[in-house]
Amino acid sequence: MMAPVLRVDGSAADPCMGSVRVDWPKALWNTGMLIGTILAVAVANWQSILLFIVLTYASLLIGHSVGMHRMMIHRSFKAPLWLARSLIYVGTLVGVSGPSGIIRIHDTRDWAQRQRACHDFFAHRCSLLVDLFWNLFCRFEFVHAPRITIEPDIAEDPFYRFLDTTWRLHQLPIALLLYWAGGWPFVLWGICARVFVSSTGHWTITYFCHTSQRDLAKGRWLVKDAGIQAANIPGFGLITYGECWHNNHHAFPESARIGLDEGQADPGWWIINGLAKCGLAYDIGAPRAAASRSDLVERAES
């Protein structure tokens, strides 16, 4: 079993105290992508839409779910450095943030949700439109923030530090290539629509899989003392790369496989398993043994 990843020191932090503020760089970036998406609809053709579907699915699956989420954040498997950097680079091209930024976003939210109580910003108790606005255009400003320490192999790696400071600019060479291949329809669908839908799609999974007070919250596992529980959303495994099995993931974040039960499609795991068969993924994490599950309560699926 792989060692748990412990980056957050919340001993002096309060997950309830703080306020939601407009994050202007984030807001301008996502507004620009939204405007580009609206323009994309006006110039749409079947080639640009097909390009959008392929690039969006592939970058989220390979870069975000496999590279950033399962490998970089949760350390649920390892890969050779060249491959790890490639996966994280594709994850950067998704257009949400650089490597360290993704870790901070994820770990802050995960820490807050595992407390007995947290602010609505992390709990997703507000309406869909309010929560969408908060997540695409705002940040949470703590009164007492948790301290996050990112591992040196990420924080001190020159390539990852370069991505952290330039992550938005990496859309430009892709845009030039797409313009050469198909003009403005390819640019608008391959960059703007892809980035905006990727950001919105990332939020959608977050919203619907972390709403324990709603009827959608189904799952086998209850995490003790966590104010916000996670849901499995049946039927969406393929379209969410396996990330919709979020009840499993909250229970076993160390597992490279998220779709743990029969019938739970998990394309992210299929990629990792394929890499392992090629000798390109190793130290693959699995759910911890029953004797180490004192933090969990098993319950019947509703």
The model's pTM is: 0.93
Q: What is d(CA 157, CA 42) in angstroms, rounded to the nearest whole number?
A: 42
Q: What is the DSSP letter of 290?
A: G
Q: What is the DSSP letter of 167?
A: G
Q: What are phi and psi of 104, to 5 degrees?
A: -65, -40
Q: What is d(CA 76, CA 275) in angstroms, rounded to the nearest whole number?
A: 13
Tokens of 269: 């795991």
Instruction: Using the Cα atoms of residue 140, residue 3, residue 63 and residue 204 in order, give the sign of their dihedral.
Output: negative
What's the alpha-carbon Rg for the chain, to the nearest Å? 19
Beta bridge mates, 147: 9
Q: What is the pLDDT along the chain (302 residues), one digit of tens a residue?
A: 455 567 899 999 999 999 999 999 999 999 999 999 999 999 999 999 999 999 999 999 999 999 999 999 999 999 999 999 999 999 999 999 999 999 999 999 999 999 999 999 999 989 999 999 999 999 999 999 999 999 999 999 999 999 999 999 999 999 999 999 999 999 999 999 999 999 999 898 889 888 644 554 478 899 999 989 898 999 999 999 999 999 999 999 999 999 999 999 999 999 999 999 999 999 999 999 999 999 999 886 55
- 3, burial (CB in 10 Å: exposed 0-12, middle 13-18, buried 19+): exposed
Tokens of 66: 């496999």
